[in-house]
């Protein structure tokens, strides 16, 4: 009986030892991916900001500027690209919508971001764009890779349509979550006017004909949970100016927008909660289950060897004081 139990335990030990590395090195790389149909939104605010009044063409202090960012997975587009790319692809249609304190539109910037579902590397395909302009991204945007490393990454800036390093600045604690802090500075750069202007009848082309140009700079900051690669918090110190041309009535420049844009408090709480739950799922596949199965396998193997040794032990000698049975003679 002990021998059979030993063999069963040995088989279970081998099974646990085999499944442990398969979970980490085979299942995890295939199962850990961004879902194609994901939808999320985020609200950010810049309080006591400076905003251009296009009626008077003067910069004014306002109580609040709100930025609503949405990311919507386009499943149909991703499936079409997957057939030609031969890998799992995610297509995000995003929109950054900026409104003033009275709810009127200040600007909106639509994007289509196409990337590998597993590595988050950009996938170059038809439709990749910013504000309707075709672009070719290099580097990440919106999300870091799973198992983010303590190093600099290339990050795409939608306003300038260029890629620049975003620097790892250290490890911090953000509301009970260990995060990596990254920072990117975009110097003053001339950028296109948005296709949809806040003034009815005014177009980017008509403004460009006045000789007035649009300039932009920002300091971009992200606090990224490294296991999931998801930012739990982000902010920007954002500035825009209009420079030169007849539109400014002889002035060299005027501030179009200036403010410290931060995530709204209720969205911080929901984001941290979501990232924590996703982090647990990934750690189950990469740490908890592999190591747990390995430890269980070692324990089962030890128990199997113990039972096998007990099964092979010779019979115990008769207790002292009990007479040995006498032989029977003919």
Query: Which position has the token pair 């950010």?
Result: 44
Q: Which of 270-300 are b and which e, b meaning 16 or more Cβ less than 10 Å from the residue's Cβ?
A: ebbeebeebbeebeebbeebbeebbebbeeb
Tokens at residue 201, please?
């009848």
**Up-side HSE of residue 61: CA atoms within 13 Å toward CB?**
2
Model confidence, pTM = 0.86
Greater model confidence, 310 or 200: 200
Query: Tens of pLDDT along 144-157?
Result: 999 999 999 999 99
pLDDT, averaged across the chain = 89
Query: Which position has the token pair 């931060």?
Result: 262
pLDDT at 84: 86
Name the residue among 188, 121, 202 with its Cα closest to residue 159.
188
Tokens at residue 44, please?
């950010």
Pairing of strands 89-99, 105-116: antiparallel
pLDDT at 302: 83
Query: Tens of pLDDT along 196-241?
Result: 988 888 888 888 889 999 999 999 999 999 999 999 999 999 999 9
Tokens at residue 263, please?
């995530």
Distance (Å, rounded) from C-alpha 96 to C-alpha 186? 18
Q: How much is the average pLDDT of 108-136?
A: 94
∠ CA 227-91-271, rounded to 5°: 40
For residue 329, pLDDT over 70 is answered with: no
Burial class (CB in 10 A: 0-12, 13-18, 19+), 129: middle
For residue 1, pLDDT over 80 is answered with: no
For residue 97, pLDDT over 60 is answered with: yes
Distance (Å, rounded) from C-alpha 255 to C-alpha 243? 9
Q: How much is the average pLDDT of 29-41?
A: 90
Query: Tens of pLDDT along 70-83?
Result: 999 999 999 999 98
């Amino acid at each position: 009986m002990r021998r059979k139990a030993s063999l069963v335990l040995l088989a279970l030990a081998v099974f646990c030892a085999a499944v442990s590395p398969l979970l980490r090195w085979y299942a995890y790389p295939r199962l850990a991916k961004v879902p194609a149909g994901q939808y999320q939104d985020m609200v950010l605010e810049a309080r006591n900001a400076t905003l251009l009044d296009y009626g008077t063409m003067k910069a004014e202090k306002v109580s609040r500027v709100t930025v609503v960012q949405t990311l919507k997975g386009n499943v149909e587009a991703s499936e079409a690209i997957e057939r030609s790319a031969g890998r799992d692809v995610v297509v995000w249609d995003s929109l950054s919508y900026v409104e003033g304190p009275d709810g009127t539109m200040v600007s909106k910037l639509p994007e289509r971001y196409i990337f590998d579902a597993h590595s988050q590397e950009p996938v170059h395909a038809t439709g990749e764009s910013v504000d309707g302009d075709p672009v070719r991204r290099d580097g990440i945007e919106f999300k870091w890779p799973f198992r983010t490393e303590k190093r600099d990454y290339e990050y795409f800036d939608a306003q300038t349509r260029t890629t620049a390093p975003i620097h790892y600045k250290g490890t911090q604690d953000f509301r009970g979550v260990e995060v990596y802090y990254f920072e990117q500075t975009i110097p003053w750069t001339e950028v296109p006017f948005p296709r949809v202007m806040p003034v009815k009848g005014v177009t980017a082309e008509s403004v460009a004909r006045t000789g007035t140009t649009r300039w932009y700079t920002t300091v971009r900051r992200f606090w990224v949970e490294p296991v999931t690669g998801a930012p739990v918090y982000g902010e920007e110190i954002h500035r825009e100016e209009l420079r030169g041309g007849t539109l400014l009535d002889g002035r060299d420049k005027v501030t179009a927008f200036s403010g410290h844009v931060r995530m709204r408090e209720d969205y911080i709480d929901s984001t941290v909660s979501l990232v924590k739950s996703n982090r647990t799922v990934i750690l189950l596949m990469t740490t908890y289950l592999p190591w747990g199965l390995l430890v269980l396998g070692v324990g089962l193997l030890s128990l199997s060897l113990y039972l096998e040794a007990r099964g092979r032990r010779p019979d115990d000698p008769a207790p002292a004081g009990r007479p040995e049975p006498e032989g029977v003679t003919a």
